């Protein structure tokens, strides 16, 4: 018996969310009185892989065969299946990221495991094994009971706090057996966005809506985001009008985020928008209309004109940051 966590890396580097997954998986391993192994695919260096031990991995399986240089959902799912079998894992954890969401269902079929996608907290394991996830686009939680012996959980990024628990871990190479049918897809091009902070990972998000009138007014949004170390986001009409790229659109038809702070500026707070942001820990709303529905979902609000409030907020944020250093 063991717990296995699959940790994703981007060009050989782990993001904070990978350590969230390790911390989360280690807590499950502790509760089950077993140990945690981590599997990583690609060319992370041994030094980078060693970071996984800091959060509680006792063994690290490194899968770096040439075929895995490019992403192949089938190839990755096969490799992780073999890692899970090697470790005799009863529970496999990975992030509910773009990658993890594609792999986990395939893994579930291969391992004959029950899958809970999008966990927001630790599972309950006394009695029945129950995983809490969001449902109905953030309007509810569903408690999913996994009834099979083998279990897979994907964890929503930013929903579990990273915590160190250093272990000394051995790094082992794993060379999975390869089925050529698993590599029918070829990656033609990879485009990385230039923004410094990626939206799904961001702890602070500054978001703008139609109230900002036009793309020319995003300078102040970007500036505020930069000072706070935040990512930028927007409402659907804003990306529909091509004021901002679609990758920034949050909500029911865009991406779902759960940062520590979500700052919504000139956004009315339609239910479809809230669906993407309601799991944010703190919501701040800046809107000139005191009746805007978003205030009902907010922790803090400023009733005022964005073109007046945001520049003042930028000055205050500069002073605040200067005071912190």
Partner 1 sequence: MKILVCISHVPDTTTKINFTPDNKSLITQGVQFIINPYDEIALTRALELTEKSGGSVTVINVGEATTEPTLRKALAIGAADAVRINAQPREAFFVATQIAEYIKKTPYDLILCGRESIDFNSGTVPSMVAEMLGIPSVAISKTIQVENGKAVIEREIEGGKEVIECALPLIAGCSESVAEPRIPNMRGIMSARTKPLVVVEPVQTETFTKVAGYDKPAPRSSVKLVDAAEPGKLLELLHTEKKVI
Beta pairing, strands 2-7 & 36-41: parallel
Partnered with residue 240 across adjacent β-strands are none
Q: Which helix (H) or strand (E) holds 47?
A: helix 46-54
Residues 29-58 within binding reach of partner 1 (CB under 8 A): none
Residues 253-292 within binding reach of partner 1 (CB under 8 A): 253-254, 256, 260-261, 271-272, 275, 278-279, 281-285
Asked if 23 touches ligand FAD (CB under 6 A), the answer is: no
Residues 265-304 within binding reach of ligand FAD (CB under 6 A): 266-268, 270, 272-273, 276, 287-289, 292
- The residue among 50 and 304 lying less far from partner 1, judged by its C-beta, is 304
Quick one: what does residue 26 bind among partner 1, ligand FAD, none, with the CB cut-off 5 to 8 Å set by partner type? none
Least CB distance from residue 134 to ligand FAD, whole Å?
A: 15
Contact region with ligand FAD (CB under 6 A), list: 88-96, 104-112, 147-155, 246-254: 246-254
> What x-and-dash track marks residues 292-311 binding partner 1 by CB under 8 A?
---xxxxxxxxxxx--xx--
Least CB distance from residue 142 to ligand FAD, whole Å?
A: 20
Choose, by CB under 8 A, the member of 25, 28, 63, 108 that binds partner 1: 108
Asked if 116 touches partner 1 (CB under 8 A), the answer is: yes
The C-alpha torsion from 145 through 154 and 136 to 205, rounded to 10°, is 150
Residues 196-215 within binding reach of ligand FAD (CB under 6 A): 209-211
Asked if 254 touches ligand FAD (CB under 6 A), the answer is: yes
Least CB distance from residue 217 to partner 1, whole Å?
A: 17
| Contact indicator for 88, 2 with CB cutoff of 8 Å | yes
| Contact indicator for 21, 152 with CB cutoff of 8 Å | no
If DSSP codes are grouped into helix, strand and coil, which group holds residue 230? coil
Contacts of 176 (CB under 8 A, 6+ apart): 63, 65, 78, 79, 82, 83
Burial class (CB in 10 A: 0-12, 13-18, 19+), 105: middle
Going by C-alpha positions, the residue among 20, 313, 61, 8 that lies closest to residue 164 is 20
Going by C-alpha positions, the residue among 278, 37, 29 that lies closest to residue 159 is 278
Binding site for ligand FAD (CB under 6 A): 209-211, 235-238, 251-254, 266-268, 270, 272-273, 276, 287-289, 292, 305-307
């Amino acid at each position: 018996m063991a717990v296995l966590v699959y940790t994703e890396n981007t060009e050989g580097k782990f993001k904070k969310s990978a350590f969230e997954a390790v911390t989360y998986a280690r807590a499950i391993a502790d509760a089950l009185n077993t140990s945690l192994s981590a599997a990583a695919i690609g060319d992370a260096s041994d030094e980078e892989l060693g970071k996984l031990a800091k959060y509680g991995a006792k063994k690290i399986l490194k899968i770096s065969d040439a075929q895995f240089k490019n992403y192949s959902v089938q190839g990755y799912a096969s490799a992780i299946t073999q890692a899970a079998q090697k470790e005799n894992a009863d529970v496999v954890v990975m992030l509910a990221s773009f990658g993890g969401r594609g792999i986990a269902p395939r893994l579930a079929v291969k391992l004959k495991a029950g899958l809970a996608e999008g966990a927001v907290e630790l599972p309950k394991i006394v009695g029945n094994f129950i995983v809490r996830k969001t449902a109905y686009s953030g309007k509810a939680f569903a408690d999913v009971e996994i009834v099979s012996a083998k279990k897979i959980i994907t964890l929503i990024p930013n929903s579990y706090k990273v915590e160190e628990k250093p272990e000394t871990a051995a790094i082992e190479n794993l060379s999975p057996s390869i089925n050529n049918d698993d590599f029918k897809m070829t990656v033609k091009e990879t485009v990385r966005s230039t923004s410094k902070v990626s939206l799904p990972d961001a702890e602070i998000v500054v978001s703008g809506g139609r109230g900002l009138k036009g793309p020319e007014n995003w300078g102040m949004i970007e500036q505020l985001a930069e000072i706070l170390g935040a990512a930028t986001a927007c409402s659907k009409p804003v990306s529909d009008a091509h004021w901002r790229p679609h990758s920034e659109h949050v909500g029911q038809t865009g991406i779902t985020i759960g940062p520590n702070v979500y700052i919504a500026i000139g956004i009315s707070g339609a239910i479809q928008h809230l669906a993407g942001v309601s799991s944010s820990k703190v919501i701040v709303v800046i809107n000139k209309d005191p009746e805007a529905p978003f205030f009902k979902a907010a922790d803090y609000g400023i009733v005022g004109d964005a073109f007046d409030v945001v520049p003042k907020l930028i000055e205050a944020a500069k002073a605040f940051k200067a005071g912190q250093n």
